[in-house]
Structures are given as C-alpha cells and as structure tokens.
C-alpha cells in the first residue's frame, strides 16, 4: 500500500515577536519547523506502512524554504519525499495549495490513503485536507483520532463536538488526523543519517500543468497586526494581595 | 580555519537531542536525583535515539558523528541532567578501548551488543588504583584458551546496569604498568557480580557500583590488543573521551546561567528586579564569559581531534577549565538564588552537586594539570 | 443584489449565521440550507427568506454534492457556516468545488470595496489578526458561535422539503454522543489550571475555588492532552474550547498565546502565578505573584469569611 502524507513547513510562532506600539510582527530570525500536527500525520503514515506493508511518501508544497524540511521529514520514516516548489507558493492560500497537492498526487499515481494533519500551526485553516479530497474526488474523513484498515476498508473515529463518530469508507480516501492518532517519534541519529540518502523528487507547478492562474490567491491581504491584549496588567504581591484583589473585583461587580 | 558549522543532518541530530533533553530528560531529572533510582524509561529512550553509542562508527551500526557534534550533544543532555548524560556518555567511554585496540570481530561483538540496546561500563578504577592506574590489582591469568579475571573495581559508572564491560587487569603485577591489559567481558559471564552501589552527592540519576570479578573466564579472543597494551589503551581512551566530560560541565554551566538570568529578572527586592543590581550583573557577566570560554576550549579540543591533530593537552585543559568553571558558576548561581538556591525544592543546588564530579572523574583536575605541565615542559 | 446562504445543522447556529448574513448588506435573498428540521423551523422565523430542508442522508456531509450543484446554479455571493469540525469539512469541500476562498474561524466579516468582502481571522496561534478582502465571489466563511444576537422572530416562511436519496461514500457506523462542548462556554466564572499544578489531586484546589465563585473548572492543553488530568472538553485554547466568561482565573498558567487566544474575550482575567516574567502577567488584568499553593487557600479563606464569592 502507499500512504501519502502531506506536511507543511511553517514558521515557529514561538519565535515571532510583536511590537507593542506598532503591532508589527518581527518575522526575521523565526525558525521553521514541520507543523506539529503534521508530525503526527507522518507518524501515522509510517506506522500504517509498517503494519500493512508498503511505503509512506512525504509530500509538501511551498517555496524554496521547503528544501530545508526534507531531511527532517524523511528522518521521521517516509521512504521518499516529493516537493512541489516555486517562489509563488511561499505563503500560498489553501485553494492554491490544495490544487497543487492534487496535481502532485495525480503525478505520483497509485495511492491508497492520503493523510494530512488536522490543521497547520500557522494558519490553522483546517481546509487543505478536505479540499484536496474534493479535488481528487475521493472520500474525506476529517478530525480522525483513531483508525484501522482491514483490506480496502478504512474505519475511523472522528472526534466531533457532539461526540465520537465512527465511520467506514473504501480506499482510496483521505483522512485529516488529530494528535490523538499517535505521538510523533523523535528521530534517532541513524534515521537522520539515513534520511540524507533517501530519494527526493522535486517538481514545479508548471511541470504539473498548473499555470499562474491556478495559484492566484482568492483574497488580498489588507493587514496583519499582532494582537495586544488590552488588559489592566495590575500586579499584586505580598500579604495584602488577596484582599486587594477581592476588593477590586467586587468594585467591578465581578464577584 | 575553525569551521564548526553544522551540516543539516547534524542540526537535525541536535534538534532530536534537544527534544529528548527538554521533553524526556528534564521532567525526570528531579525525581531521579531525589530518589537515586535509575531512570530506565528515560535511558531506554536515549538508547533508542542512539545517544549511548555516539563514538561508534557508521560501519559498525553507529551514527559516526564528529567529536565536535558529540560535545555539542553531550552539553545539551547534561544541561537537562548531568546524571543521565553521564549514563549515556559512560557507555560511549566503554566503547573506546574496543575502538582503539579491537580487531574486526571484537568490534563487531562489542558494538553489536551496544547497538542492540545494552549499556556499557569502563572498569579501570580500583579501591587502591584511582589516579594511579599502575597499581591496578585485578589480575587476568592465562589458562589454555581463556583468561581468568579476578579483582574488584570501584566507582564504576553503569556498573550495575551495563550489558557489557571493558575491564583492565594485569597479566603480571611485577611488570607494573607494562602488565596492564584490556578485556571485553559480557554481563552474563559466571563470576561477575555487582557490588555495593554508591550513594552519591551528585549525578544521582547515574548508577555507580563496585564490579567484582571472581574467576571470571573469558576467551583469549576477548583480550583487546596485546598483553601489556592496557595502560596505553586506557590513557588513549581517557584522552579521546575527555572533551565529552568537559562538554557535560559546560551543559551544567549553561543550565545554571540560564536559571540565574531568569531569576535575576523575576525576583524583586526593594521594588526592583535583583538583576538591576551591579553586584548581580557582574556575577552574571562572569558566569556567561566563563561558560563561553569553557565551551570553546572544549569544542576546539574536539575539533583538533576531528582534524587528526594532537589534542591531549588541549583536551586536558578543556576538561580542567570546564570542570572548575562548572563548580564556580553553579556556586555563583546558588548565591544569586540565595535561600532558594540552597533549598532542595529548587533545582539550583542539584547543579552544584552535579558539578563537583566534573573536577573528579575521568582523571581529576589535578592529574589533568600534571598532563598539561608535562606537555609544557617536554617542549 | 445577491443571494446569501447559510448552511447549518443546529438551530442556534442557523439563526446566528442569518444575523451575520443580514449584516453583510442588502441581499436579494437570505437562504438557509439544512438537514435538520429544527434548524429549518428556527431559520424560517428568524431571518431566512427561503429555507431548504434536505433529507435522505445519515450525515449532512452527504448533502455536499446537492449543495454544490445548487450553488453553481444560484450563485450566492457568500456562504456562511458554523465553525464546528463537521461544518469546516463541508465548507472546504464546497470551496474546492466552487474554486472559492474560505475564511476559517472568521471573527469579522463585512462588505468591502466593490464585490469583495472584508474578513478578519487570527493566525499564528492567535498571535496576529489577518485582514483580507476577497478578490472574487463567492466567499465562504466558517464563523464561531456566540458573537451576534439573532434577528427578531417574525412570521415564518415556508420550509421547502428537498427529499431524495443521497449516497454517502462515508458510511456512518455509530455516533456516540459525548458532548465535548463543556459548560465552559456558558460559565460566568472559570478557574483554569496550567502546568504550575504539580499533582492531579491538587485539582481539588481549583475545584474548590470554582465552587466558591459558582463557576466551572478548565485547563490548558498539556493538562488535558499530555497529563490527561481533565477531559479534553475542559481545555481552553485556540485549538480547544473558547470561552468569554465574566471572570477568568488562572492558577499556574504561564499564558502562552495558544491558550490566551481561546479566552481573549473574557471580561476580566485574574492570574495567580509564581513567575512574574511569565506572559500571563501581560495578558491579565490582575496578577497575584505567588505560589498557587499559598495564594489559593488564602483566596478560599477570604471568600468564605466574606460570605462566599457571589
């Protein structure tokens, strides 16, 4: 079987600083990493490949910066990686990313299950997976917290607001997974060493038949402002702190 | 000239070790220190990552990493807990005699055992032979195709938890240093027993015991190099692993420094953070400067080693300076934390206790100075 | 003038989305599409000009092909959905089919210049607010609950029944109702615990404090997902529950942005935190610097002395 896992190379928001005055974001010196939920997705694909036989393939779409992610992704167990890149794909929207992924999946050809993380840590749109399934015309099962395969039938547990939904569908299909699907491994030294020797296929959207119009964003960015909590920021300490707090809360009618 | 830029693979290895150190080692450190119980779960995870086998070359199933990277990784682990870093590092130490003097079959046997997940232990020190390796009393007597080992080793890191040992014993006491020989001994050999466990001041997560050999029989094929090569093998081993001890000391310094900086910003007295006082500022500046100096002495010694250049004086300097610096920096950290630094409820005093061993083990800092001076005066 | 659609499975979601749609400016028609008769009935009296009730499927996801075909014919200018997981999947499938933009977890939506709609949403774990204007129609958006007042009731419009058989490639085996939405969204006071809590049994402290204020207990993600001391429905944050209580009290919460984003609309935030350099100090109205194990009992005692919290 072939399990294709899609991952995103995202900015680590822990490194982003907000200027309190201008609300501008300082994005330089921000490290990039594989989006955390996508690490669980990769782990899921790799475990399924071990269990069912076959291979896991890592697939990513993005700008030139994605080159830095490949060994990281491969050290987590996939047999090889496919990267569709061009500068226009840096920060592309979900519509463009899903179209590019769909073209890449068609290019890869045979597959049984596509696995995506539930959402990326940067935009958390939660739409790339189900968009991709729709474009490929295969069933999508989102918010999956557990899954099993028996033959060509996928049984999945979806964690929804109203409860746990158990569903079945036939392969090929797409799932988006929650972290519950399984803890992502810490790659060991030998896996990292081996990653450098695994094959990587590099494609451009043009090679997949996607023209510039396919990547055109559906919206124009107007503003990006750091959030600054508008709070009183009163610090209380020492013996009288508790009494002082309660006095203030009562005065405000909070308790 | 000194290009120590990490390759992408090396950066990923550091990323893995950082994740392991922060998410697996650090949360377990306090309890392992308090109870002195061996944190098998944490160590097993380190073994899975290959961190006990850092010196093993790729050809024998290891990752074959450079000494510079080894020192960076050791620093990272030690920053989270020097005791756990010692457990993993001591296995690497036990590999060096095999790496230095072993033939193909011996390397295969020893490294296969380690790569399969065993810890290793380096057995040199005896009650009567600490810094003076020439007075090793353990004996290895040739008996047909075997050697029969007798004697008692002490202060052996991983003594009670190792699956395989490198052991130093003399084939002829009258020959002094020239009789010392090195052997590989598997844990399961009849007559090998684990003696008393030390209740240590620091690095309490690590296991330190006596290892007793009573008519332990090993095939002659377990002799590393030739009879009498032992002293050379032991000294070369300590030379080669010394930068890792220095790196562990730097890791302790870094942990103490970071905690002190945080505290200096957080702790307020007389209405302002204590870091606003020049007395604290100067302490922090000195701690940071000394830590940085120690780090680069260590890395340069490792770099020389990677380049195939002479390094034993430099690694002795690095170990000595880093060990002394760790003691100084952690003592200062306790001072900055004041009463909280002295309290076992806070993580600072552990650093000070852990630091002390860095001046003692793998050649005391006094012996290192002898090595350094010897080198200086020979020239 | 354009048609505006709302798609909702729950009655309260339907009426809220209709109120959002109304705000988007004059529309030719507000249409509600649903697979739930209760939602259809509510929409019929609270804002919809046309209500289409679909049936014949076990899961609303199965209506997507019908809705897509209808959208291609009717060309609504905007399609609004709730921000629950099911709705997000439906929205994404429709957006892909229509080759349209989709604003997930939209917090602000209005008519922009020309044909465009202006939207706002949080990104980078809540660290930044992104404002965008769509460059083509339709616009799709998923909108979290609780931000608008539903439109007043009026005479009901007729509900059109769209019966039929809808094959679903995803077969429903079982739905185990287990509402993961806790009482947190409704609570007036929430006491939230974070990593500063050392042992599971110490949750008692937080429970006692919540009880004293007549509130509920919540937690940060690590407490639910890593330590598993509380069920997941208790965890607040950008990927967990969102709440906007009158009073939000944290015990040993450092105040990471991913957590604070989920409670940013709280009226008043009070923190008990040992580390006065923790981000929570900047994100709270009042912070008591101190050990939660000392401060919480003091708070409890003071509340008791003064005859309870409320």
CA distance A33 to chain B (A): 11
Output the average pLDDT for chain C: 91
Instruction: Verify whether the Cβ–Cβ distance A226 to C100 is below 8 Å.
Output: no
pLDDT of B372 > 70? The answer is yes
Which residues in chain C (90-119) have CB-CB distances under 8 A to chain A?
Answer: 91-93, 95-97, 99-105, 116, 118-119
Quick one: pLDDT at residue A34? 97
CATH number given to C183-305: 3.40.50.1220
Instruction: Verify whether the Cβ–Cβ distance C175 to A141 is below 8 Å.
Output: no
Residue C213 to residue C216: CA distance in whole angstroms: 9
Considering only CB atoms, which chain C residues are within 8 Å of A105?
Answer: none
Q: What are phi and psi of B198, to 5 degrees?
A: -75, 140
* Nearest in space to B185 (alpha carbons), one of B122, B259, B129, B138: B122
Instruction: Verify whether the Cβ–Cβ distance C277 to B268 is below 8 Å.
Output: no
CA distance C270 to chain A (A): 9
Output the average pLDDT for chain B: 94
Q: Give the residue extent of every domain in chain C.
A: 3-162, 183-305
B343 touches chain A (CB under 8 A): no
Quick one: pLDDT at residue C308? 46
Residue C146 to residue A219: CA distance in whole angstroms: 26
pLDDT of A99 > 70? The answer is yes
Chain A's closest residue to C95, CA to CA, is: A131
> What percent of chain A lies above the pLDDT cut of 90?
81
**B175 Cα distance to chain centroid:** 30
The residues of B annotated as belonging to the active site are: 362
The DSSP secondary structure of B11-29, one letter per residue, reads HHHHHHHHHHIIIIIHHHH
In Å, the largest CA–CA distance within chain B is 79
Arithmetic mean of pLDDT, B238-252: 95
- Cα–Cα distances (Å) from C61 to C65, C93, C169, C171, in that order, read 9, 9, 10, 11
pLDDT tens profile B104-139 = 999 999 999 999 999 999 999 999 888 787 789 999
Q: What share of chain A is helix, strand, coil (3-state, %, to 5)?
A: 35, 35, 35
Q: How many CB atoms lie within 10 A of CB A31?
A: 10
Task: Write out the CATH class of domain A2-228.
Answer: alpha beta
Quick one: pLDDT at residue B33? 95
Considering only CB atoms, which chain A residues are within 8 Å of C122?
Answer: 227
Arithmetic mean of pLDDT, B39-66: 96
Residue B248 to residue A47: CA distance in whole angstroms: 35
Residue C132 to residue C116: CA distance in whole angstroms: 10
pLDDT tens profile B187-233 = 999 999 999 999 999 999 999 999 999 999 999 999 999 999 999 99
pLDDT of C181 > 60? The answer is no
Instruction: Verify whether the Cβ–Cβ distance A93 to C101 is below 8 Å.
Output: yes
Arithmetic mean of pLDDT, B333-339: 94
Q: Which residue, among A27, A124, A172, A247, would best test binding to C if mutated, counting the most C CBs under 10 Å from its CB?
A: A124
pLDDT tens profile A154-174 = 999 999 988 899 999 999 999
Strands, sheet with A234-237, edge to edge from the N-terminal-most edge strand: A234-237, C286-289, C268-273, C247-251, C189-193, C216-219
Residue C233 to residue B136: CA distance in whole angstroms: 64
Residue B363 to residue A128: CA distance in whole angstroms: 59
Residue B178 to residue B158: CA distance in whole angstroms: 27
Arithmetic mean of pLDDT, A26-45: 94
Quick one: pLDDT at residue C310? 45
Two tokens, residue B271: 């209405």
Report CA torsion sign: A215, A216, A217, A222: positive
C246 touches chain A (CB under 8 A): yes
CA distance A213 to chain C (A): 12
Chains with ≥3 Cβ pairs under 8 A against C?
A: A, B
> Which CATH architecture fits C3-162?
3-Layer(aba) Sandwich (3.40)
Arithmetic mean of pLDDT, C169-192: 84
Which structural domains are found in chain B, ordered by start? Answer: 8-115 (1.10.540.10), 120-229 (2.40.110.10), 232-378 (1.20.140.10)
Considering only CB atoms, which chain C residues are within 8 Å of A152?
Answer: none
pLDDT of A251 > 90? The answer is no
* Nearest in space to B13 (alpha carbons), one of B61, B68, B59, B60: B68
pTM for the model:
0.88
Quick one: pLDDT at residue C115? 82
- B1: confidence class by pLDDT, cuts 50, 70, 90: low
Which residues in chain C (6-45) have CB-CB distances under 8 A to chain A?
Answer: none
Q: Which of A188, A195, A237 comes nearest B49 by C-beta?
A: A188
CA distance B15 to chain A (A): 9
Considering only CB atoms, which chain A residues are within 8 Å of B61?
Answer: 190
Q: Give yes or no for a contact between C77 and C89, defined as CB atoms under 8 angstroms apart.
A: no
The DSSP secondary structure of C166-231, one letter per residue, reads ---SSEEEEEEE-----GGGG-SEEEEE-TT---GGGHHHHHHHHHHHT-EEEE-HIIIIIS--S-
Q: Give the residue extent of every domain in chain A.
A: 2-228
- The burial of C41, by beta-carbon neighbours within 10 Å (0-12 exposed, 13-18 middle, 19 or more buried), is given as middle
Q: Is A35 helix (H, G, I), strand (E, B) or coil?
A: coil
Q: Is C108 helix (H, G, I), strand (E, B) or coil?
A: strand
- The alpha helices in C31-184, defined as continuous H runs, are 37-45, 64-74, 85-98
Quick one: pLDDT at residue A134? 98
CA distance A194 to chain B (A): 9
pLDDT of C309 > 50? The answer is no
Considering only CB atoms, which chain A residues are within 8 Å of B51?
Answer: 189
- The burial of C151, by beta-carbon neighbours within 10 Å (0-12 exposed, 13-18 middle, 19 or more buried), is given as middle
Chains with ≥3 Cβ pairs under 8 A against B?
A: A, C
Could you tell me which residues come within 8 angstroms of residue C38 by beta carbon, excluding any fewer than 6 positions away?
C10, C11
ipTM over 0.95: no
B66 touches chain A (CB under 8 A): no
């Amino acid at each position: 079987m072939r399990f294709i896992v899609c991952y995103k190379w995202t900015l680590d928001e822990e490194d982003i600083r907000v200027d309190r005055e201008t609300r501008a974001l300082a994005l330089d010196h921000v490290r990039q990493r594989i989006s955390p939920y996508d690490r669980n997705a990769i782990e899921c694909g790799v475990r399924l490949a071990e269990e069912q036989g076959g291979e896991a393939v890592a697939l990513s779409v993005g700008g030139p910066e994605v080159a830095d992610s490949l060994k990281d992704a491969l050290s987590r167990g996939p047999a090889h990686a496919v990267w569709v890149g061009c500068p226009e794909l840096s920060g592309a929207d979900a519509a463009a990313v899903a179209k590019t992924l769909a073209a890449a999946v068609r290019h890869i050809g045979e597959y049984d299950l596509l696995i995506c993380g539930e959402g990326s840590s940067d935009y958390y749109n939660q739409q790339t997976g189900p968009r991709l399934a729709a474009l490929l015309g295969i069933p999508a099962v989102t918010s999956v917290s557990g899954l099993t395969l028996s033959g060509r039938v996928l049984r999945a547990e979806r964690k929804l607001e109203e409860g746990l939904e158990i569903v079945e569908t036939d392969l090929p299909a797409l799932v988006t997974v929650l972290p519950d699907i399984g803890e992502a491994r810490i790659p060991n030294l030998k896996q990292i060493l081996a990653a450098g020797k695994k094959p990587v296929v590099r494609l451009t959207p043009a090679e997949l038949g996607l023209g510039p119009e396919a990547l055109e964003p559906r919206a124009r960015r107007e503003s990006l402002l750091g959030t600054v909590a508008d709070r009183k920021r009163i610090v209380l300490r020492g013996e009288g702190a508790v009494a002082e707090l309660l006095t203030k809360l009562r005065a405000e009618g909070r308790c | 000239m000194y290009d120590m830029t990490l390759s992408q693979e090396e950066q990923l290895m550091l990323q893995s070790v950082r994740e392991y150190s922060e998410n697996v080692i650090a949360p377990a450190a306090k309890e392992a220190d308090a109870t002195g119980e061996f944190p098998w779960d944490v160590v097993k995870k380190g073994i899975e990552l290959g961190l006990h086998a850092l010196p093993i070359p790729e050809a024998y199933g290891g990752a074959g990493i450079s000494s510079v990277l080894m020192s960076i990784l050791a620093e990272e682990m030690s920053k989270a807990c020097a005791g756990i870093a010692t457990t993993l590092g001591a296995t690497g130490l036990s590999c060096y005699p095999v790496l230095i003097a072993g033939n193909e079959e011996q390397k295969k046997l020893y490294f296969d055992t380690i790569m399969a997940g065993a810890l290793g232990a380096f057995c040199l020190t005896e009650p009567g032979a600490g810094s003076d390796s020439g007075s090793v009393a353990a004996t290895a007597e040739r008996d047909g195709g075997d050697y029969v080992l007798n004697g008692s080793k002490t202060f052996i890191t991983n003594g009670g938890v190792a699956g395989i040992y490198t052991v130093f014993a003399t084939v002829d006491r009258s020959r002094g240093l020239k009789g010392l020989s090195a052997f590989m001994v598997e844990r399961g050999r009849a007559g090998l027993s684990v003696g008393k466990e030390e209740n240590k001041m620091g690095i309490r997560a690590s296991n330190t015991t006596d290892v007793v050999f009573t008519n332990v029989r090993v095939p002659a094929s377990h002799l590393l190099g030739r009879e009498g090569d032992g002293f050379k093998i032991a000294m070369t081993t300590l030379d080669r692993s010394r930068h890792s001890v220095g790196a562990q000391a730097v890791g302790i310094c870094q942990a103490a420094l970071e905690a002190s900086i945080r505290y200096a910003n957080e702790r307020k007295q007389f209405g302002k953070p204590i870091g606003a006082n020049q007395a604290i500022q100067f302490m922090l500046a000195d701690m940071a400067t000394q830590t940085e100096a120690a780090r680069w002495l260590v890395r340069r010694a490792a770099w020389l080693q990677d380049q195939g250049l002479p390094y034993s004086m430099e690694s002795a300097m690095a170990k000595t300076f880093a060990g002394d610096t760790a003691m100084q920096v952690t003592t200062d950290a306790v001072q900055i934390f004041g009463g909280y630094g002295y309290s076992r409820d806070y993580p600072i005093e552990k650093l000070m206790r852990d630091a002390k061993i860095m001046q003692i083990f793998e050649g005391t800092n006094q012996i290192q100075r002898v090595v350094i001076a010897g080198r200086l005066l020979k020239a | 003038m354009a048609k505006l659609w709302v798609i909702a499975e729950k009655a309260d979601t339907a009426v809220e989305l209709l109120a959002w749609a109304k705000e988007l400016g004059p529309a030719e028609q507000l249409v509600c599409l649903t697979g739930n008769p209760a939602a259809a009935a509510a929409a019929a009296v609270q804002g919809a000009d046309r209500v289409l009730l679909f049936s014949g499927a076990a899961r609303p996801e199965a209506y997507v092909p019908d809705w897509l075909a209808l959208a291609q014919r009717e060309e609504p200018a905007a399609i609004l959905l709730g921000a629950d997981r099911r709705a997000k999947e439906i929205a994404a499938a429709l957006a892909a089919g229509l080759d349209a933009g989709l604003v997930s977890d939209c917090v602000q939506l209005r008519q922009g210049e020309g044909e465009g709609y202006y939207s706002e949403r949080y990104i980078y774990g809540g660290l930044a607010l992104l404002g965008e204007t769509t460059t083509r129609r339709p616009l799709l958006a998923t909108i979290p609950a609780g931000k608008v007042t539903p439109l007043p009731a009026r005479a009901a419009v007729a509900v059109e029944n769209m019966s039929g058989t809808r094959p679903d490639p995803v077969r429903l085996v079982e739905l185990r109702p287990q509402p993961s939405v806790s009482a947190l969204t409704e609570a007036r006071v929430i006491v939230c615990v974070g990593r500063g809590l050392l042992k599971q049994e110490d949750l008692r402290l937080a429970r006692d404090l919540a009880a004293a204020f007549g509130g509920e207990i919540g937690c940060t993600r690590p407490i639910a997902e890593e330590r598993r001391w509380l069920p997941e429905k208790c965890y607040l944050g950008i990927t967990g529950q969102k709440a906007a209580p009158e009073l939000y009290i944290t015990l040993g919460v450092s105040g990471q942005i991913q957590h604070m984003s989920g409670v940013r609309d709280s009226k008043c935030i009070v923190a008990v935190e040992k580390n006065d350099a923790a981000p929570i100090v900047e994100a709270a109205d009042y912070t008591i610097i101190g050990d939660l194990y000392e401060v919480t009992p003091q708070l409890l005692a003071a509340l008791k002395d003064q005859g309870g919290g409320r």
